[in-house]
Amino acid sequence: MRIAVLATLALGAAATLAAAQSTAHWDYVGKNGPLRWGKLDPAYEACSQGREQSPIDIRGARLNKGLEPIEFHYIAGPITEENNGHTVVMHVDPGSYIVYGGVRYDLVQFHFHHPAEEPVKGKLSDMVVHLLHKSADGKIVVVAVRLAEDIAKPNAVLAALWPQLPAKVGGVEKVTEFVNPAGLLPADRGYWTYMGSLTTPPCTEGVRWFVFEEELSLSRDQLRTFAALYRMNSRMVQELHGRKIEANE
């Protein structure tokens, strides 16, 4: 029952539920890969016709001193892990949220892509975690934190989550140990921001993206553990179409 409630909250905001809105199967490779997403179902039209698609290459960002810091109000709690066939989604209990521009956005879930989807001046990190948030009126904010392999520096949050990763598609596991998503945030909260979309079908636009400038580390074993489940689950870079990329101080 709890999983169903969390899934309803994430509807339209999360990769885990995009496929449930249509019978059209999509994938990261082959005949149902990203180049064909927009043709698989009318609901996916934005994937090929949209003008504000994600991810993008982060380069040429303009400094905007008027950009506010993101206020994080994350709390520790149990995590429900779901292998949805495209990634492993970490469903969180209600209570964690951010505030930006005076608006509260509740954390719904977070998930991972290998390799990272957001290159910086053409360079990709090893992985990325996308933390998806939704406001009371349905606006979506995604915070992206890039992860880079460091043999000697495992990530503490991943160390708590990885032992329960469900290997089979449709598998669900409960992490009863309380985990705080704040452990996935870098110490330096400098970010790049732009308007984009979900990076999976239906590729919904109007999503505010925050990509942290600082990377976090994960160990080689942690990287290999996820890569064993998803060798590649990243969308290619999309055209900018004149959009602005801004950076805070």
Q: What confidence tens digit (pLDDT) does each residue in 38-69 have?
A: 999 999 999 999 999 999 999 999 999 999 99
Catalytic: 86? Answer: yes
- What does the alpha-carbon distance between residue 179 and residue 109 come to, in Å, rounded to a whole number? 13
So what's the pLDDT on residue 151? 78
So what's the pLDDT on residue 19? 40
Q: Which domains, ranges and CATH numbers included, belong to the chain?
A: 2-247 (3.10.200.10)
Q: 119 in helix, strand or coil?
A: coil
Residue 79 has pLDDT above 50, yes or no: yes
CA distances from residue 93 to 5, 68, 242 in whole angstroms, order as listed: 10, 27, 38
Alpha helices in 145-237 (DSSP H): 156-161, 220-229
So what's the pLDDT on residue 18? 43
**Residue 6 exposure: Cα atoms within 13 Å on the Cβ side:** 22
So what's the pLDDT on residue 62? 97
Residue 240 has pLDDT above 70, yes or no: yes
- What does the alpha-carbon distance between residue 179 and residue 157 come to, in Å, rounded to a whole number? 7
Catalytic residue, chosen from 25, 73, 86, 114, is 86
- What does the alpha-carbon distance between residue 56 and residue 128 come to, in Å, rounded to a whole number? 14
Tokens coding 185? 């945030």
- What does the alpha-carbon distance between residue 169 and residue 158 come to, in Å, rounded to a whole number? 20
Least-confidence region, from 14-18, 97-101, 115-119, 193-197 = 14-18
pLDDT > 70 in the chain, percent: 91
Tokens coding 239? 């055209």
One-letter identity of residue 131:
L
pTM of the model: 0.91
So what's the pLDDT on residue 45? 97
Q: Are strands 97-100 and 77-83 parallel, antiparallel or unpaired?
A: unpaired
Residue 12 has pLDDT above 50, yes or no: no
- What does the alpha-carbon distance between residue 26 and residue 248 come to, in Å, rounded to a whole number? 36
So what's the pLDDT on residue 13? 40
The length of the chain is 249
So what's the pLDDT on residue 8? 40
Confidence of residue 15 (pLDDT cuts 50, 70, 90): very low
Q: Left, alpha or beta for 108 (phi > 0: left; psi -120 to 50: alpha)? A: alpha
Q: Tell me the per-residue pLDDT of 141-183, one tens digit each, with 9 for 90 and over.
A: 999 999 999 977 899 999 999 999 999 999 999 998 999 999 9
Helix or strand (DSSP H, E) at 132: strand 127-135
Residue 23 has pLDDT above 90, yes or no: no
